[in-house]
Amino acid sequence: MKRIVLFTALTIALVSITGYGFASSQTREGTLPDGSKVRVDATGRLVTDRHTEAVEKAISSIKPEDFQSVNSFVRQAHFQLNDLVASGHYKRFTDNSTWASNSKEYLWETRVKEYVSGEGELNLVTRPREVAEKVGSEDLKADLEAFARMLEFAYEKKDVQLLILAHRIIHDLDYWVFNNETFESRDYWGATVTLEGQDGILTKKYLNKFE
């Protein structure tokens, strides 16, 4: 009972503190009475609570015997994309110096091409689609498909921004859905349908324009 009262009081406090009026899919920073910062949605609900429900729904849709293989793929794919574009590595794709031009060709035609059309574990287009067959959640399936399509479009268009967006999808899945240990930044990009709903920014804004 005390927990319910405390949560209700906290919610009311957040609403009064933040004072906003916009769509429920949007969030903003709120300040608790103790000065700590939290994210809240338009209903005054803590985003972490909304996300927890979404995560539980996604994870519970995976059979126990399949969980390790799904989680391992997400973890490995995040590692591969980190090495490709995270921590400033994306700048290698945008540097126009002569040396960098040679490097860019290598990155696109060796590294990225291997991720798109290579064989086995390195293929980051075929693998997520195989992994998606072990997932019951339509939202998580959509994120795995979006990740694969982002990589396909990135290679086709030679567009580093699409590589960065693919990284953000797999980053959010790794750290915020599967809650794996953080070795680098634990930024939250809001890039997945699993956590942001079917109108998630990436699926809506970027993928549709390539259809």
| pLDDT tens for each residue of 113-159 | 999 998 888 899 999 999 999 999 999 999 999 999 999 999 999 99
Global pTM reads 0.74
H helices of the chain, where?
2-18, 47-60, 64-85, 98-106, 113-117, 126-132, 138-157, 160-172, 193-196, 201-205
Are 37 and 48 a contacting pair, CB within 8 Å? Answer: no
Model confidence at 22, pLDDT cuts 50, 70, 90, reads: very low
